[in-house]
Amino acid sequence: MIEIEAAPAGYRVPPALLAGRVVLVTGASGTLGGAVAHAAAAAGANVVLHGRNEKRLTALYDEIVAAGGPEPAILPLDFAKCGAREFDAVADTIRRAFARLDGIVHCAGHFTPLAPLSSQPFEAWNAHLAVNLSAPYAVTRACLPLLLEAPDASVIFVGESHGLRPAAYWAPSAVAKAGLAALTRIWAGELGTSPTIRVNLIVPGPVATRQRRVSHPGEDPLQLAPAESIAPAILYLLGSDASGVTGRAIACHAGDMPAGPGIG
């Protein structure tokens, strides 16, 4: 059962929390992924920047280097078009570049405007599941040997409140994100009660991202928390301060989450 709990209030990221570590951030060309990549690099990590948009990844690379962060790597790849061979190549590329991997933050996502199930094209449904559920599983599976070699590895799936509290018109996104909650529980269970790999789900509340603009087009983004506000909770889960924390759903905005026990 996954415990639903709030992120540590007022967590301050220690200097060099991730020094010497290598962290893969998928969807780094997006709003949340970019914020996480910046924060991880500022904490000392060599960040592997994944995304579809190579131009955005290159700009992010330049920003991290200009800020004095460790030199990152760029991994352009479209998860919607990947098969097993491409996912295996992700792990091979990281091993050749850094010879280690200490963490993955799965920020990559696919989202389309809300619509009833009856009007969801089959291709659109499959694209949601491919990017939001199958890809996080496949990347984690491919990178598992590297993660097992690390003394303190962490895998973080990025969920969504509707994955824990489904609502009309949110499928197939809610279905894929509900799958991530199950995937978190299963990975954590299979890796044991005292794993060297911690697996958790983080559920941001309302955050000013490109996806939020699609799901809530009438909302004023200036009234929302910036994506950077989520980064400390993610770094907490990446670093040694979260030792022993696994198989949990961490809500960055607890008031937006369902009350009660875990996900059964």
Average of per-residue pLDDT across 207-215: 59
pLDDT of res. 190 = 92
End-to-end CA distance of the chain: 5
Q: Confidence band (pLDDT; 50, 70, 90) for 255? A: very low
**Domain boundaries of the chain, sorted by first residue:** 17-254
pLDDT of res. 264 = 29
Partners of residue 226 on adjacent β-strands = 208
Average of per-residue pLDDT across 235-247: 92
Q: Which of 72-81, 166-175, 185-194, 204-213 has the lowest mean pLDDT?
A: 204-213
pLDDT at 210 over 70: no
How many Cβ atoms are within 10 Å of 1's Cβ, its own excluded?
Answer: 10
Write out the two tokens for 149.
Answer: 């070699």
Mean of pLDDT over the chain: 85
| Long-range Cβ contacts of 204-210 (<8 Å, 24+ apart) | 204/32, 204/158, 204/160, 204/230, 204/252, 204/253, 205/161, 205/251, 205/252, 205/253, 205/255, 205/256, 206/253, 206/256, 207/31, 207/32, 208/31, 209/30, 209/31, 209/32, 210/30, 210/31
Interval 51-79: pLDDT, tens:
999 999 999 999 999 999 999 999 999 99
Interval 118-176: pLDDT, tens:
888 898 889 889 999 999 999 999 999 999 999 999 999 998 877 677 778 767 888 88
Write out the two tokens for 239.
Answer: 């670093």
The dotted CATH code for 17-254 is 3.40.50.720
Contact criterion met (CB below 8 Å) for 32 and 204: yes
- Per DSSP, 263 falls in state B
What is the rounded distance in angstroms from the CA atom of residue 121 to the CA atom of residue 114? 12
Average of per-residue pLDDT across 236-245: 92
